């Protein structure tokens, strides 16, 4: 009888992975595609927490050069994934991509392009999209894009291709939300 009690007190492998539901995650990732992607790319955890940085305030009809928002996903007290969107002056897509992968030569070598905005780039642990937002003259200083970056700190037990695909889904969902909420006037192309 004691063996049965000891056995029941240990969680099974199936019980170890905490559920992820739309009501728990950051608002920009609360859609079915993002939930499935999170379940795909995140490592097993007994609990998850989702911390959302509120979007920088702006008037709903105006686009602002200070727009930013982010979501941090932790599991068992460790940072697992971060998603950030910020407004920035438009620049050549190649220099933007180099900046996103700066200092990560091993990762940059595994990164490849995907269709999103002005430029989409993804590796098995990072995905980013440079999304058109405001034309020259809408915000002082030139034209502006949104830079959206998803960084996976601890990957689940999936292939490189599955991880990359999941991160692309996350950066696309977050990018669509940010594009709408930033008041962008140019088509997002995502």
- Residue by residue, DSSP assigns 67-99 as -EEEEEEEETTEEEEEEEEEEEE---HHHHHHH
**Listed range (8-22, 94-108, 131-145) with the worst mean pLDDT:** 8-22
Q: What is the pLDDT of residue 10?
A: 37
Residue 32, classified by CB atoms within 10 Å of its CB into exposed (0-12), middle (13-18) or buried (19+), is exposed
> Tokens at residue 97, please?
């991509």
C-beta neighbour count of 154 within 10 angstroms: 16
Q: Binning pLDDT at 50, 70 and 90, where does residue 104 land?
A: low
pLDDT, residue 15, reads: 46
């Amino acid at each position: 009888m004691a063996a049965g009690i000891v056995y029941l007190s240990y969680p099974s492998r199936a019980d170890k992975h905490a559920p992820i539901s739309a009501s728990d995650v950051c608002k920009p990732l609360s859609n079915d595609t993002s939930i499935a992607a999170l379940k795909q790319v995140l490592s097993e955890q007994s609990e998850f927490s989702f911390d959302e940085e509120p979007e920088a305030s702006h008037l709903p009809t105006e686009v602002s050069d200070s727009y930013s928002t982010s979501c941090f996903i932790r599991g068992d007290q460790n940072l697992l994934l971060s998603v950030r969107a910020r407004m920035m002056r438009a620049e050549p897509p190649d220099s933007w991509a180099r900046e996103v992968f700066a200092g990560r030569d091993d990762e940059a070598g595994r990164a490849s392009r995907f269709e999103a905005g002005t430029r989409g780039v993804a590796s098995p642990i990072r995905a980013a999209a440079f999304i058109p937002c405001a034309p020259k003259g809408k915000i002082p200083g030139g034209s502006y894009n949104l830079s959206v970056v998803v960084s996976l700190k601890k990957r689940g037990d999936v292939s490189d291709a599955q991880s990359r695909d999941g991160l692309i889904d996350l950066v696309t969902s977050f990018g669509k939300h940010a594009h709408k909420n930033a008041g962008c006037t140019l088509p997002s192309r995502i």
